[in-house]
Amino acid sequence: MTVKQLSVFIENRRGRLGEVLQVLKDNNINIVSMSLADTTEYGLLRLIVNKPEEGRDFLLKAGFSSMLTDVLIVKVPHTAGSLQKILSIIAENDIDIEYMYGLSVESTDASIVVKTNALDLACKVLKSSHIETMTPEEISSL
């Protein structure tokens, strides 16, 4: 099952990240995970939040270029080789990973946020391999 990732394009200048985070804080949007990639001119902030649609709307009203993207959150057991096994299953099914980053919400497992070129197929493949993904409801409850 996919969840919504909030993406925000921000200028690479001092204080701009803090401004984004302030808008989310002021509107009671909880950040569960985030990734920031930057160049000399701009940054791409990817966030998993408890209320993605509301977060996007508040950021748009505050003047930030924001959008929602479907991603998977894959549960990864804390055992050696677990991530490699999951990535092998994805690769064996000719699914390309566009990006991924870590997420830790439970004490027994870690999780990864994964964007692929074939989300529906990735969901099906992971489910048939008994690999759990998080639901939007689980994210909303964090």
pLDDT tens, residue by residue, 91-103? 999 999 999 998 8
Say how far apart CA 59 and CA 134 lie, in whole Å.
25
Amino acid 42: pLDDT: 87
Domain 71-140: CATH architecture, name and number where available = 2-Layer Sandwich (3.30)
Tell me the helices (H) and strands (E) count for the chain, helix number first.
5, 6
**Sorting pLDDT into bands at 50, 70 and 90, what band is 109?**
low
Instruction: Please tell me the least confidently modeled range out of 15-29, 47-61, 64-78, 125-139.
Output: 125-139
Amino acid 119: pLDDT: 87
**Sorting pLDDT into bands at 50, 70 and 90, what band is 108?**
low
Domains 2-70 and 71-140 share a fold: yes
Is 87 a residue whose pLDDT tops 90?
yes
Amino acid 77: pLDDT: 86
Q: Domain 2-70 in CATH: superfamily?
A: VC0802-like (3.30.2130.10)
Is 123 a residue whose pLDDT tops 80?
yes
**Sorting pLDDT into bands at 50, 70 and 90, what band is 84?**
very high
Mean confidence (pLDDT) of the chain:
91
Is 48 a residue whose pLDDT tops 70?
yes
Sorted by where each begins, the domain ranges of the chain are 2-70, 71-140
Asked whether the beta carbons of 9 and 56 are under 8 A apart, the reply is no
CA neighbor of 115 nearest in space, from 14, 61, 40, 37: 37
> Does 19 or 39 have the greater pLDDT score?
19
